[in-house]
Amino acid sequence: MRRFLAVLPLLMPSTVIAQTSEDARPRIIVSSAATIPSPPDRAVVSFSVHGEGTTSDEAVRAMVAKRDAIEKGLTSISAGSDIRAAQIGIAEVRGRDCNRNTYGNPRLSTGECAIIGYTADIQMEVRTAAVDEAGTMVSLAGRLGATNPRIDRFFLAEDKEIRRRGVAEALAEAKLQAEAIARASGVRLGGILSVSNLSFNGPGPYDDIVVTAQHASAPPPPPPPPPVAVGLKPRAIETLVKVQVVYAIQP
């Protein structure tokens, strides 16, 4: 009796074989970073303006008049500054006995809890290219009645060209690292298989929402004396660029 042995070929799609071969190709993976220091060209100054009155309208008028005087003073230092309002609020003011006896519970506006006045507050932000004068702007805002004037931060208005320089430097450093690894390993460095940008920092987009209070007619304030100058030399803005480069190894 004869026996026949059937041989069935094992078939694998060529695309799978090619992909498997590609994934198994020897390679060198390096990561590199470049930090580009640049002097900031923008500053952000912020402050609050407070107004008080027996009615809400009086409180708002006082706040607006003070704000207008501050804005006029700041524009005398940097005419191109972008002055924006971020928040505005009006609060009722009651007597001290009401605050002592209610402990945060709901209260009626009668008796010891009758409303005796109002406060109005607005949060302002100034973005200016006069970086060297930012400290003087804080000084002048404080003199003109601003509450808690301060420099929030320095930044770059545009960093695309700086990032291009950083990418070029990071790639050059990555190549030097890969060449050193190849020499030490006794292999020949091939071409680049892939490059990944690992950077995340940057100036970022900014909120364009603007809230303004209704301007009220007010007598122009008297011209203030020269502000106290504050000399500033802000630290450089460091733009960090990170890359990961995958090199092939030549056979």
Residue-wise pLDDT for 114-149, tens only, equals: 999 999 999 999 999 999 999 999 999 999 999 999
Q: How far is CA 22 from the centre of its chain?
A: 42
Cross-strand bridge partners of residue 202: none
Tell whether pTM > 0.75: no
Distance CA 59, CA 52 (A): 4
Given a contact cutoff of 8 angstroms between Cβ atoms, the answer to whether 230 and 135 are in contact is yes
Distance CA 193, CA 245 (A): 8
Distance CA 184, CA 191 (A): 18
- Taking CA atoms, 80 is separated from 41, 75, 76, 154, 157, in Å, by 13, 7, 10, 17, 14
Structure tokens given for 60: 């708002």
Residue-wise pLDDT tens digits, 193-246: 999 888 755 444 333 322 233 334 456 666 656 766 656 567 777 888 888 888
Given a contact cutoff of 8 angstroms between Cβ atoms, the answer to whether 196 and 243 are in contact is yes
> Band of the pLDDT at 96, cuts 50, 70, 90?
confident
Phi-psi domain of 98 (left: phi exceeds 0; alpha: psi -120 through 50; beta: other): alpha
Closest among 181, 194, 177 to 25, alpha carbons compared: 194
Task: Please count the other Cβ atoms lying within 10 Å of the Cβ belonging to residue 69.
Answer: 19
Structure tokens given for 114: 């009758």
More reliable by pLDDT, 231 or 66: 66
